[in-house]
Structure formats: structure tokens, C-alpha cells
Amino acid sequence: MTSTPDTPMRTLLRLMADLRDPGRGCSWDVAQSFETIVPYTIEEAYEVADAVARGDRDDLRDELGDLLLQVVFHARMAEEEGSFAFDDVARAIAAKLIRRHPHVFTADGALLPPGSPRRDPAQVEAQWAAIKAQERAAKGIAKEMAEPASPQAPDLPPDPLGGVALALPALARAEKVSRRAASHGFDWDNAAQVIDKVREETDEVAEALERGEPGALAEEIGDLLFSVANLARHAGIDPETALRDGTAKFERRFRAMAGELRAEGGELGRSDLAAMEAAWQAVKRKEKG
């Protein structure tokens, strides 16, 4: 009787189990916990995004492997404590994909027959949000049934902004929270109105700066950033990507500015601000052709 050959996925799962073996595995891998691995998980997700932005498909393949390893690592630790295993993770996401795509799949996961009604992307997004809301409500009911409230606990309604992960980068979380609020009808009618709000918040930042109140200044800058995240959402722009691209543009121009200074016999740190500004403007002119 021949054994079933390992698939790449089975090999990866076996390797992770071996690395976590208390007696024969890697001491570093054995010492890790969910909490210590999370920073690596977040870092790998960003490295995937970076590979996509650079259009480097070889690097993307490698970074996706690193990200997959993070999923396998978490699943292995959960299996060791008896919570769930990798197959449960895969089974859960497969069920979610079927459940959230009723315009593509039947309830048992089969493709709908040809000629079934199609939905445009906006309709699909609205449907996805509605199904997620139903899932959150059902999860809240299930939790209440599993954990009866104490007699003293108040009967609170479901959190209308619940389910937005606290671990998200602040800008991405601001966009998601504002999107959730908008789903309840609390939103501006158009992007022009959000620009007015951005201007209002900018004025309040200037006032706090003039008063010299650090606490108020931090609060007003937070309000300004939240308003900018709302503006990006209204414009259909991902704020994380926009800020990442803006930072990359600054880096490119700053390095080019340093080159301009060297060409004129200057140097960063020794040239005055006027010389650096002139070099900066020269870089911008060259970029514009």
C-alpha cells in the first residue's frame, strides 16, 4: 500500500509542527506565543503590500509565503492548546466566502447556473456589508446565550461600531470606523462637504497651536487626521495607500534634493533652508518635465 504523497501545504504544516516540537524543535519557535508572533504577522502583511506596490512578482511570491507561515504558526499554537487547527481556519473562511457571495454560490458551495442574475461591484459591496452586519448580530446573540449577563448588568444594545479591530493602523481604523458610522446614515453627502470639515479642523489646529496648549493641539490634530481619512473614503481612496505613496514620493524627492545640493557644492546638514528649498523646487520641476 503506497502512502499519499505530501502536498506543499501538508509539508508546511508538518514542518511547523516539527519546529514547535518541545524536545526536538527550534527553541525560538517553541518559545513563541500568539502575542509575540503578532508583530511579525503585521510586518509580513505590510511586506506583501510593498511587493505589490513595487510590482515585484518574485518578491510577492516570497512575501506571500512568509504571510502564510504566520497563519500556519498561529494555527499550530491554537491546535496545541486545543482551540482549533489549520483545517478549521480553512473551513471557516471557505464557509464565509460561500455565505457572503450568494450571487455566486448556492448554499452548499456550488456555482450558480449560467444566466443567474449578476450584481455590479457597488451592489456586491453593499450586500457584503449587510451580511457582515447580520453575522455580527448573530455572533452577539450567541455570545449572550453562552455567557448570561449578571443580574446587575445593564441591558445594552449592540455596539453600532463594533467589530473594527483595535490593532489596525490608526489611519486604516479611522477609515473603517467612519465607514461603519456612514452605514448607519451618519455621513456627509459629498466630498466637498468633507473638505469644508478638513478646513475647519485645520483652523482649530492653528488656534490650539497659537494658544500653546499641547493637549488641545494633540486632540485637534487627531480630529484633522480623522477628517482626512473621511475625505479619502468619500473620494474612493485608501488612506493607508495614499499616505504610503505620499511618503515614498517625499523620500524620492528628498534623496534627489540631496543630489542637487551635492551638484552645486552643497551638502545636507550644512546648506541653509533657502538652498534646500531651491534644490527641492528644482527636483519638482524635473519630475514635471
In angstroms, the Cα distances linking 201 to 194, 206, 221, 223 are: 10, 9, 8, 7
pTM of the model: 0.65
Q: What is the pLDDT of residue 62?
A: 97
In angstroms, the Cα distances linking 277 to 18, 249, 262, 264, 267 are: 57, 16, 14, 13, 13
* 278 conformational bin, left if phi > 0, alpha if psi -120 to 50, beta if neither: alpha
3-state DSSP call for residue 289? Answer: coil
How many domains, the chain? 2
Task: Express each pLDDT in 3-51 by its tens digit.
Answer: 667 899 999 999 999 999 999 999 999 999 999 999 899 889 989 988 9
* Domain-terminating residue out of 99, 134, 158: 99
Quote the cell numbers at residue 215: 493637549
HSE of 198, CA atoms in CB hemisphere, 13 A = 13
Other Cβ atoms within 10 Å of 231 Cβ, number = 20
Residue 214 lies in a domain: yes
Looking at the fold, whether 263 and 176 belong to one and the same domain comes out as: yes
In the chain, which stretches have pLDDT less than 50?
1
Which domain range does residue 36 map to?
A: 8-99
Q: What is the pLDDT of residue 154?
A: 56
CA 128/CA 122 separation, integer angstroms? 10
* Domain-terminating residue out of 99, 116, 137: 99
Residue 36 lies in a domain: yes
Are the C-beta atoms of 161 and 181 separated by less than 8 Å? yes
| H-assigned helices in 81-213 | 86-99, 121-146, 170-183, 191-211
Residue 154 lies in a domain: no
Looking at the fold, whether 78 and 180 belong to one and the same domain comes out as: no
Question: Helix-strand-coil percent breakdown of the chain, rounded to 5?
Answer: 70, 0, 30
CA 289/CA 285 separation, integer angstroms? 6
